[in-house]
């Protein structure tokens, strides 16, 4: 699964408004500044802060 490059370019972290990038498994978007991972379900990024997982928690 690969997100459209144009979509990825306009998406920003909803918490800090910073840049996000696709993780290696291509199943989540990572904000390095907030240390959060936003899951991608059925090719749709779930950009809700309360649904994000901390990178410090692990998978």
Q: Is the pLDDT of residue 15 over 70?
A: yes
Q: pLDDT band at residue 8, thresholds of 50, 70 and 90?
A: confident
Phi then psi for 21, rounded to 5 degrees?
Answer: -140, 160
Task: Write down all domains in the chain, each with its CATH number in brackets.
Answer: 5-54 (2.20.25.10)
The residue-averaged pLDDT of 19-33 equals: 94
Q: Is the pLDDT of residue 53 over 90?
A: yes
DSSP state of 35: T
Q: What's the pLDDT score for residue 9?
A: 87
Distance from C-alpha of 44 to C-alpha of 46, rounded to nearest angstrom: 6
Place of tokens 């950009």: 47
pTM: 0.85
The residue-averaged pLDDT of 31-35 equals: 96
Distance from C-alpha of 17 to C-alpha of 2, rounded to nearest angstrom: 22
């Amino acid at each position: 699964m690969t997100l459209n490059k144009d979509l990825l370019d306009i998406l920003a972290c909803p918490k800090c408004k910073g840049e996000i990038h696709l993780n290696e498994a291509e199943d989540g978007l990572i904000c390095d500044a907030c240390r959060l991972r936003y899951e991608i379900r059925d090719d749709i990024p779930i950009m809700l802060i309360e649904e994000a997982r901390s990178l410090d928690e692990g998978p």
